[in-house]
């Protein structure tokens, strides 16, 4: 299978020109999640670099558990192709809009509800073809499951927020979609959920999701029929008729909790914490995912207070939406780490072609002398 449209050389050429003329480019996939990589829009001198037309599934091999896909391909298109052969991406990506692209998904690096039991997005990346800031087309990793030849640049591209290079193709490890699923619900408080999830975590049951919203613990199980049914009996609770819809909305970040407009002064946060962390003492409402490891918070608390609480708990907090009030969108990191991230950016994009406002800045020799 190799259909679609290969725009590799056009993209590489465009970057080579940008590198020599001092032009800055913002990589745009489907454009649907632009606010997550560029929350304040583009600087005046920045041009969008459109990748959506570089699309198509290059190679799908279910028995090899691998798919290679061009970055402009819509996530929904990829998911449909996988569903047809009984496969899935292990990290259950969001498909917020029909145009959301595979490249954007990888550049944001966010993993869905299955994360604690199967894999994160970056875990499932096996290989990439990219264009770096010099306009060179480079291939790292491959289509095989195990590969330790050279530094793992492919996984570094996951979550790189457009700041390291243009993703051309990505190869993912696939998993067979579960033959059978079950959805359960149990009423409980958030604190009880965290304790319950911790205890359930000590037994190897076939969980594929554990979330809490509005006083309800949502359980999703997946695997063989007997295994799932037996686990459902052991866990107890009522069948969750709204289950499939709930998990789809959670996956696509379409739950009202996440989409409802924020009262003035409130902010929506995404916290990543050691999962057993007791409820944090912050004002507002919570939505819990990943058995407690991912926590969404709508709160009027000051950014500093949220960050301090997350840091104290050994985690981090990303400002998702609301007034940044001068605070960074990503969790602040120590200066030495920021410097290192900057050096890594410089190694891939020495001239600073790629506009990535959420990543630390770094000195660009070419620009400095210009």
Q: Which positions from 290 through 319 interact with another protein, judged by CB under 8 A?
A: 290, 293-294, 314-316, 318
Our finding on whether 81 is near another protein (CB under 8 A) is: no
Our finding on whether 123 is near another protein (CB under 8 A) is: yes
Show contacts with another protein in window 231-270 (CB under 8 A). 231
As measured in angstroms, the least distance from the Cβ of 334 to another protein is: 8
Q: Are 269 and 306 contacting, i.e. CB atoms less than 8 angstroms apart?
A: yes
Name which of 226 and 281 has its Cβ closer to another protein: 226
Show contacts with another protein in window 175-234 (CB under 8 A). 175-177, 179, 198, 201-206, 223-227, 229-231
Q: Are 172 and 124 contacting, i.e. CB atoms less than 8 angstroms apart?
A: yes
Kindly write out the interface string for residues 340-369 of this chain, putting x where it contacts another protein by CB under 8 A and - elsewhere: xx-xxxxxx----------xx---------
Distances from the Cα of 9 to the Cαs of 6, 153, 161, in angstroms? Answer: 8, 21, 22
As measured in angstroms, the least distance from the Cβ of 186 to another protein is: 20
Our finding on whether 93 is near another protein (CB under 8 A) is: no
| H-only helix segments in 181-302 | 190-200, 225-235, 243-251, 256-259
Name which of 76 and 338 has its Cβ closer to another protein: 338
The DSSP letter of residue 55 is B
As measured in angstroms, the least distance from the Cβ of 153 to another protein is: 7
Nearest in space to 290 (alpha carbons), one of 361, 368, 200, 352? 200
Show contacts with another protein in window 30-59 (CB under 8 A). none
Residue 330 tokens, joined = 């990503």
Our finding on whether 3 is near another protein (CB under 8 A) is: no
* 302 contacts: CB under 8 Å, gap ≥ 6: 325
* 153 contacts: CB under 8 Å, gap ≥ 6: 128, 130, 138, 140, 141
**Among the candidate windows 9-17, 26-34, 109-117, 280-288, which touches another protein by CB under 8 A?**
109-117
Q: Are 102 and 60 contacting, i.e. CB atoms less than 8 angstroms apart?
A: no
Our finding on whether 62 is near another protein (CB under 8 A) is: yes
């Amino acid at each position: 299978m190799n259909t679609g449209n290969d725009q590799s050389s056009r993209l590489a050429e465009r970057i080579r020109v940008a590198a020599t003329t001092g032009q800055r480019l913002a990589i745009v996939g489907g454009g649907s999640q632009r606010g997550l990589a560029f929350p304040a829009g583009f600087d005046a001198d920045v041009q969008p670099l459109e990748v959506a037309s570089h699309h198509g599934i290059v190679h799908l091999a279910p028995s090899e558990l691998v798919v290679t896909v061009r970055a402009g391909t819509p996530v929904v298109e990829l998911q449909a192709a996988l569903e047809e052969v009984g496969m899935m991406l292990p990290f259950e990506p969001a498909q917020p809009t029909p145009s959301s692209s595979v490249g954007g998904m990888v550049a944001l690096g966010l993993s869905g509800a299955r994360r604690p039991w199967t894999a994160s997005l970056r875990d499932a990346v096996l290989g990439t073809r990219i264009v770096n800031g010099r306009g060179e087309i480079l291939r790292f990793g491959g289509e095989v499951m195990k590969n330790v030849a050279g530094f793992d640049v492919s996984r570094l591209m996951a979550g790189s927020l457009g700041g390291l290079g243009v993703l051309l193709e990505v190869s993912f490890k696939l998993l067979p979609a579960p033959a059978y699923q079950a959805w359960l619900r149990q009423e409980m408080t958030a604190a009880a959920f965290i304790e319950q999830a911790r205890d359930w975590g000590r037994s190897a049951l076939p969980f594929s999701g554990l979330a809490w919203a509005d006083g309800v613990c949502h359980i999703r199980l997946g695997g063989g029929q007997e295994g799932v049914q037996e686990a459902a009996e052991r866990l107890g609770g009522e069948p969750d008729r709204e289950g499939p819809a709930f998990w789809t909305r959670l996956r696509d970040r379409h739950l009202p909790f996440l989409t409802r407009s924020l009262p003035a002064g409130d902010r929506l946060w995404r916290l990543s914490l050691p999962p057993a962390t007791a409820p944090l003492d912050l004002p507002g409402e919570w939505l819990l995912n990943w058995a407690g490891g991912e926590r969404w918070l709508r709160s009027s608390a000051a950014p500093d207070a949220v960050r301090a609480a997350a840091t104290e708990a050994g985690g981090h907090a990303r400002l998702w939406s609301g007034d940044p009030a001068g605070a960074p969108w990503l969790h602040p990191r120590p200066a030495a780490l920021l410097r290192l991230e900057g050096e890594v950016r410089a190694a891939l994009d020495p001239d600073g072609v790629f506009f990535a406002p959420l990543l630390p800045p770094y000195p660009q020799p070419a620009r400095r002398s210009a």
